[in-house]
């Protein structure tokens, strides 16, 4: 996981409703989220709570995706969607996540990028885990950055589509692990985006120089 990084959003238009503003939840939570396939306890949310912080990470936004486990050991709630992808292309998946400090947070959250072949088989991917016990990448059981209210933390994963890739899949997951069984806690997701990662400039320069050398060699032989 790397914070503070961004890439040109060459593919982000293919991701639907990454800010969860589609569907008006101002009169109460809406089940699921437009453009996403969801399962278990997942809602489009527009409600603040005590010490909640901004309900949306996006400036001017009013909604986020609320998610919590189905109160069964090891069970998961989540949302996902897929889009076309090219083999050999590197992709970055970014999302912002918040744990409300008013919750007793005893669960795991996962941001996951999968690569699928033409038969919808998972052939690669990467993920970052939000871990309240401090054993993974990001500990959200404490208030981030010393704030007085819950605030938003950036998660970022990258992966290169292997040979045979025809699409990529974005997963947002919330997994119950609390002891005693299924202690509560919610995650809020916002501003999810998928971007193509361009080749480094050095690689382009190296490639151009190599092509130039090949051309010079051919001219000498001729």
The pLDDT-based confidence of 179 (bands split at 50, 70, 90) is low
The CATH number of the domain holding residue 124 is 2.60.120.260
Q: Is residue 7 part of a domain?
A: no
Of residues 177 and 127, the one with the higher pLDDT is 127
Q: Is residue 175 part of a domain?
A: yes
Q: pLDDT digit string (tens) for 29-64?
A: 999 999 999 999 999 999 887 777 789 998 889 999
Q: Is residue 5 part of a domain?
A: no
The sign of the dihedral angle between the CA atoms of 58, 94, 27, 67 is negative
Do β-strands 153-160 and 90-99 pair in parallel, antiparallel, or remain unpaired?
Answer: antiparallel
Is the Cβ–Cβ distance between 100 and 91 less than 8 Å?
no
Nearest Cα neighbor of 193 from 39, 51, 7 is 7
Q: Which residue has the tokens 């589609």?
A: 22
Is the Cβ–Cβ distance between 69 and 174 less than 8 Å?
yes
Alpha-carbon gap, residue 148 to 210, rounded angstroms: 55
Residues 11-27 have a mean pLDDT of: 87
Number of domains in the chain: 1
Which residues form the domain of 170? Answer: 12-221
Q: Is residue 63 part of a domain?
A: yes
Q: pLDDT digit string (tens) for 62-85?
A: 999 999 877 777 778 999 999 999
pLDDT at 153: 85
Q: Is residue 2 part of a domain?
A: no
Q: Is residue 48 part of a domain?
A: yes
Residue 7 has pLDDT above 80, yes or no: no
Q: Is residue 89 part of a domain?
A: yes
Residue 2 has pLDDT above 50, yes or no: no
Q: Is residue 190 part of a domain?
A: yes
């Amino acid at each position: 996981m790397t914070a503070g990084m961004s890439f040109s959003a060459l593919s982000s238009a293919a991701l639907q409703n990454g800010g969860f503003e589609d569907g008006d939840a101002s009169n109460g939570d809406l089940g699921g989220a437009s453009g996403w396939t969801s399962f278990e306890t997942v809602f489009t949310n527009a409600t603040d709570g005590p010490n909640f912080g901004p309900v949306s990470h996006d400036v001017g936004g009013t909604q986020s995706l609320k998610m919590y486990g189905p109160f069964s050991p090891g069970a998961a709630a989540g949302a996902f969607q897929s889009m076309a992808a090219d083999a050999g292309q590197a992709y970055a998946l970014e999302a912002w996540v918040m744990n409300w400090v008013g919750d007793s947070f005893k669960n795991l959250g996962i941001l996951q990028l999968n690569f699928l072949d033409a038969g919808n088989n998972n052939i690669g991917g990467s993920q970052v885990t939000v871990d309240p016990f401090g054993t993974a990448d990001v500990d959200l059981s404490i208030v981030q950055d010393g704030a007085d209210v819950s605030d938003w933390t950036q998660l970022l994963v990258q992966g290169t589509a292997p040979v045979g890739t025809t699409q990529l899949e974005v997963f947002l997951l919330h997994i119950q692990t609390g002891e005693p069984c299924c202690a509560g806690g919610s995650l809020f997701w916002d501003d999810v985006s998928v971007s193509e990662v361009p080749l480094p400039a050095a690689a382009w320069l190296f490639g151009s120089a190599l092509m130039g050398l090949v051309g010079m060699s051919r001219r000498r032989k001729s």
